[in-house]
Structure 1
């Protein structure tokens, strides 16, 4: 299956760099609406057969122009919502609580999935719900599936599940609003990233882009999808 993981368009909380992860969440800014309107053209070469969105309003608004252009009915699934900020909800990304959230979710990407966000979920729980939606899409038989989801969730799931990228790779690479990560594979055979926001990604074991050391520099509150 070809899997397109698309970050939603810009929201007011993105602009303010807040940990805004609760349902239903904010809508899009005027720029976010422009970004959403550009998605059909950006993905014109993709033979999308199914379109998934999360339970957060911003993903549904982002997907609407693409759904209309392709005649697809978006499938709403809570499993691909943003990684819950729990007790840290609505804190600035560069606050102590915001840094704690970012360090926790990137620890999940590196394999320490038993850690839990205060008042929120563990890495095991977050990855399991995301896996379940991916598995549903794969079982549908669709050749190409697009999922409009959230920056932290996309980056963490990709690092945890794709064979050719890791936590350092995703920590060193931002995912812009309506940025797209393209993967290929299946739950049974595993996944590999083909491109990250338009840049080709080398197969595992071959020379290619590498991540920076996984430290606070990788947890930029403006770049990480702290607002989901």
Structure 2
């Protein structure tokens, strides 16, 4: 199975660099709407047969042009929403809150899945809910499914489940709005990342951990 993990288009909270993870969340900016409108052409070579979005409005708005272009229904699932910021909700991602958020997330694929976001979810809970939606899509028997989701949770799930990248790779490579990670595999056999925002991925990469906007964590103030 080919799995496309697509980050949503730009939101006002992205512009203000806020840890905005609660449902239903904001809509898209004018730029975000243009990014969403460009997705059908950007993914023209992908034979997408199933399309999912999270319970946050921004993913559904991002998926809408693609759904219209392909004649697909958008399947909304809570399992692929963003990692809840808990007590850090709506705090400045440039602050210590942003550091805590990302350090917690990237502790999970390293094995500390019982660690809990302050006032929020544990890694085990986040991965389980995301796994469930991926398994549902795989059970459809389609060749390609697209999940319109969120930057941090895509990086988390991919670094935890793909065989050919590690935490350093995902931590050092933030996803732009409407950035796409392409994987191949199945829940039973495992996953391999084929490309990360258009760049071919051959093997595990290394890099410094990064904050919510991709800045190295030692630069987050």
Q: What's the TM-score, normalizing by structure 2?
A: 0.95
List alignment gaps of at least 5 residues for structure 2.
Answer: 216-221
Alpha-carbon deviation of 1:69? 0.1
Alpha-carbon deviation of 1:97? 2.0
Alpha-carbon deviation of 1:71? 0.2
2:108 is paired with a residue whose SS is helix
Runs of 4+ with >3 A deviation? none
1:28 is paired with a residue whose SS is coil
- 1:207 maps to none
Is residue 211 of structure 2 the alignment partner of residue 220 of structure 1? yes
2:18 is paired with a residue whose SS is coil
- Aligned-residue CA RMSD in angstroms? 1.1
Contact 1:192 1:203 in 2 (8 A): no
1:154-169 equivalent positions in 2, closer than 5 A: 154-169=154-169
- Output the CA distance in 2 between the equivalents of 1:221 and 1:127: 19
- Output the CA distance in 2 between the equivalents of 1:104 and 1:133: 22
Alpha-carbon deviation of 1:172? 1.1
1:1-16 equivalent positions in 2, closer than 5 A: 1-16=1-16
Q: What's the TM-score, normalizing by structure 1?
A: 0.92
Alpha-carbon deviation of 1:111? 2.1
Alpha-carbon deviation of 1:96? 1.7
Number of paired residues? 215
**1:124-181 residue CA offsets vs partner (Å, 9 max, x unmatched):** 0000000000000001111100000000000000000000001100011121000000
Is residue 65 of structure 2 the alignment partner of residue 65 of structure 1? yes
- Output the CA distance in 1 between the equivalents of 2:75 and 2:186: 19
1:57-206 equivalent positions in 2, closer than 5 A: 57-203=57-203
Alpha-carbon deviation of 1:203? 4.2
